[in-house]
């Protein structure tokens, strides 16, 4: 064991040892509570002493698995124990082949159909499709095969909770629930500052480790007193965040990376085709947006009373708006880039920015402010065990989510715990 890791906590040990007796062990609970470290040790031990055969390591994508599991494994275990070829992405642990698989859609199960496995490790288990999980269970056919999984809490009716964790006793599954207190290696000050970064739903899930429903307002931490400002600081960088619709609404936000280490939405522009009874073409949108930026009519990006020049670095655009992005590229007044559209990651990241006071909206953005308040979780989706927002009056919110999430490499350093860097 490397000096990077101190003594395992009693719960970490218990979870590791449980893998000797149980075919399936699931570690669930708070962020940073020591789940991954325990699972890593159990898995390496399985590779060294478990039944013969190939192993599999799965997570949402190959990249998240490499970041969340393989890199930490390489930091803790030596060359002889863990070998990873970055080029071919071939992983060997104690000389054994370990398949590294990303499972972020329903087709992922095809990747493992037909394999015979002696062991598996699933990172972020609640984020993979149930079909993949079921297929994986069926591939662990070798005598004495073992599987370990880690997860953060999700919806109470999530398949992993309902069919596996809640039935752990009946199925002989080892279930271990971790709290932050179960990790004795975190400095108290760190624990306190992580706790301050979450509120409501996220606090209960990521700090308390509870499987609670996503219901009511998505951005229940949004408070106009705290998050709406009349002033804007000087900005290091300006961006445009765009949600695009031809027959519906196109919503653009002018956002700035403040020199005071906050992300600001300075102005908004919106075209509602139904309300105006006119659809704009891509070329017209491009002209309207350029003119709007040039006009600065409402003075919202004045700094200390003086108009501050806006030099756009980039536009982060709705990834499905291919023709519109192509138009912007042709027109040349701004460089468009496809925004990342992972809805839940985007919502969570935006929520964390709000909770930590790192996101402010200028008062002139009335539509966005209205939408942020009204944006709600879908009760029907929750009944299926899925977190999903109601898709209505959400164009400004979508633009914000695209932009805030896709520019996270500029803002994540302000956060203590960035949920997008690693989960589970
Ligand atoms: N036994 C331990 N000794 C030293 N550090 C530990 C130990 N267990 C966990 N940690 C550290 O605590 C942090 C969180 O642990 P991790 O297992 O990644 O939590 P989780 O997977 O629950 O989010 C990591 O930085 C990890 O290195
Ligand atoms: Mg983890």
- Ligand 1 pocket mutation, candidates 12, 32, 207, criterion most atoms within 8 A of CB: 32
The per-residue DSSP string of 14-34 comes to HHHHHHHH-SEEEEEESTTSS
**Whether residue 302 has pLDDT greater than 90:** no
Query: 98 by DSSP, 3-state: which?
Result: strand
Other C-beta atoms lying within 10 Å of the C-beta of residue 75: 12
Specify the ligand 1 atom closest to the Cα of 27.
Answer: 22
CATH number assigned to the domain covering 224-414: 3.30.420.280
Residue nearest to atom 25 of ligand 1 (CA): 32
Mean pLDDT of the chain: 94
Specify the ligand 1 atom closest to the Cα of 37.
Answer: 17
pLDDT for the residue 1: 45
Parse the chain into domains and list their residue ranges: 10-185, 224-414
How far apart, in whole angstroms, are the C-alpha atoms of residue 65 and residue 68? Answer: 5
pLDDT for the residue 311: 86
pLDDT in tens, 206-217: 999 999 999 999
**Position 80 confidence tier, pLDDT thresholds 50, 70, 90:** confident
The per-residue DSSP string of 105-136 comes to SGGGGGGTTT--EEEEEESSGGGS-HHHHHHH
Q: Which residues line ligand 1 (CB under 6 A)?
A: 5-6, 8-9, 12, 31-37, 150, 178, 183, 185-186, 424
pLDDT in tens, 183-192: 989 999 999 9
Alpha-carbon Rg of the chain, whole angstroms? 24
User: Ligand 2 mean position to 303 CA, how many Å?
Assistant: 43
User: Ligand 1 mean position to 187 CA, how many Å?
Assistant: 12
pLDDT for the residue 421: 59
pLDDT for the residue 228: 98
**Position 301 confidence tier, pLDDT thresholds 50, 70, 90:** low
Instruction: Kindly tell me the burial class for residue 70, based on how many C-beta atoms sit within 10 Å of its own C-beta (0-12, 13-18, 19 or more).
Output: buried
**Whether residue 422 has pLDDT greater than 80:** no
pLDDT for the residue 267: 94
**Whether residue 43 has pLDDT greater than 60:** yes
User: Ligand 2 mean position to 39 CA, how many Å?
Assistant: 9
- The better pLDDT of the pair 316, 304 is held by 316
**Whether residue 388 has pLDDT greater than 80:** yes
CA angle (375 as vertex; 398, 371 as ends), nearest 5: 70
Answer yes or no: CATH 1.20.1440.230 is held by domain 10-185.
no
Of 192-196, 302-306, 368-372, which one has max mean pLDDT?
A: 368-372
Percent of the chain with pLDDT over 70: 95
Tell whether the torsion through CA atoms of 315, 318, 320 and 323 is positive or negative: negative
Average of pLDDT values for 22-26? 97
- Ligand 1 pocket mutation, candidates 28, 35, 37, criterion most atoms within 8 A of CB: 37
User: Ligand 1 mean position to 148 CA, how many Å?
Assistant: 17
pLDDT for the residue 424: 44
Q: Which of 147, 158, 205, 146 is nearest to 177 (CA)?
A: 205
Specify the ligand 1 atom closest to the Cα of 9.
Answer: 1
pLDDT for the residue 309: 72
User: Ligand 1 mean position to 184 CA, how many Å?
Assistant: 9
Instruction: Kindly tell me the burial class for residue 414, based on how many C-beta atoms sit within 10 Å of its own C-beta (0-12, 13-18, 19 or more).
Output: middle
Lowest mean pLDDT among 21-30, 304-313, 397-406: 304-313
Ligand nearest to the CA of 180: 1
Same fold? 10-185, 224-414 = no
pLDDT in tens, 215-255: 999 999 999 999 999 989 999 999 999 999 999 999 999 99
Structure token pair of residue 40? 């890593």
Residue nearest to atom 10 of ligand 1 (CA): 34
- Ligand 1 pocket mutation, candidates 2, 5, 34, 190, criterion most atoms within 8 A of CB: 34
pLDDT for the residue 79: 87
How far apart, in whole angstroms, are the C-alpha atoms of residue 302 and residue 280? Answer: 29
Taking the complete model, does pTM exceed 0.75, yes or no? Answer: yes
**Position 136 confidence tier, pLDDT thresholds 50, 70, 90:** very high
Query: 178 by DSSP, 3-state: which?
Result: strand
Query: H/E element holding 307?
Result: strand 306-307
**Position 423 confidence tier, pLDDT thresholds 50, 70, 90:** very low
How far apart, in whole angstroms, are the C-alpha atoms of residue 315 and residue 76? Answer: 41
pLDDT for the residue 16: 96
């Amino acid at each position: 064991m490397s000096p990077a890791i101190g003594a395992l906590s009693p719960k970490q040990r218990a979870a590791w040892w449980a893998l000797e007796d149980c075919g399936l062990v699931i570690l669930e609970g708070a962020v940073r509570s020591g789940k991954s470290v325990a699972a890593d040790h159990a898995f390496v031990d399985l590779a060294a002493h478990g039944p013969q055969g190939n192993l599999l390591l799965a997570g949402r994508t190959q990249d998240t698995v490499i970041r969340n599991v393989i890199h930490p494994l390489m930091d803790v275990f030596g060359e002889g124990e863990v070998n990873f070829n970055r080029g071919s992405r071939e992983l060997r642990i104690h000389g054994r082949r370990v398949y590294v698989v990303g499972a972020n859609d329903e087709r992922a199960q095809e990747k493992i159909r037909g394999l015979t496995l002696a062991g598996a490790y699933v990172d972020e288990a609640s984020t993979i499709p149930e079909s993949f999980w079921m297929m994986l269970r069926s591939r662990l056919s070798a005598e004495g095969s073992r599987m370990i999984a880690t997860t953060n809490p999700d919806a109470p009716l999530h398949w992993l909770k309902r069919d596996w964790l809640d039935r752990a006793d009946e199925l002989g599954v080892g279930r271990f629930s971790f709290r932050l207190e179960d990790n004795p290696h975190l400095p108290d000050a760190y624990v306190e500052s992580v706790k301050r970064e979450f509120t409501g739903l996220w606090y209960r899930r990521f700090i308390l480790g509870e499987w609670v429903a996503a219901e009511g307002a998505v951005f229940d931490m949004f408070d106009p007193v705290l998050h709406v400002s009349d002033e804007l600081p000087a900005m290091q960088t300006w961006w445009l965040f765009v949600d695009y619709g031809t027959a519906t609404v196109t919503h653009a936000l002018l956002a700035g990376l403040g020199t005071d280490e906050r992300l600001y939405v300075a102005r908004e522009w919106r075209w509602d085709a139904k309300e105006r009874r006119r659809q704009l073409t891509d070329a017209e949108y491009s002209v309207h947006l350029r003119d709007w930026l040039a006009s600065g009519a409402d003075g919202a990006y004045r700094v200390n009373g003086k108009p501050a020049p806006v030099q756009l670095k980039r536009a982060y655009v709705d990834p499905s708006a291919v023709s519109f992005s192509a138009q912007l590229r042709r027109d040349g007044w701004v460089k468009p880039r496809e925004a990342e559209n992972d809805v839940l990651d985007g919502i969570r990241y935006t929520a964390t920015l709000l909770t930590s006071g790192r996101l402010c909206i200028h008062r002139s953005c009335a539509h966005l402010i209205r939408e942020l308040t009204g944006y709600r979780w879908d009760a029907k989706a929750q009944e299926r065990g899925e977190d999903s927002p109601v898709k209505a009056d959400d164009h400004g919110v979508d633009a914000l989510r695209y932009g805030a999430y896709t520019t996270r490499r500029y803002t994540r350093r302000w956060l203590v715990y960035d949920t997008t860097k690693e989960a589970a």
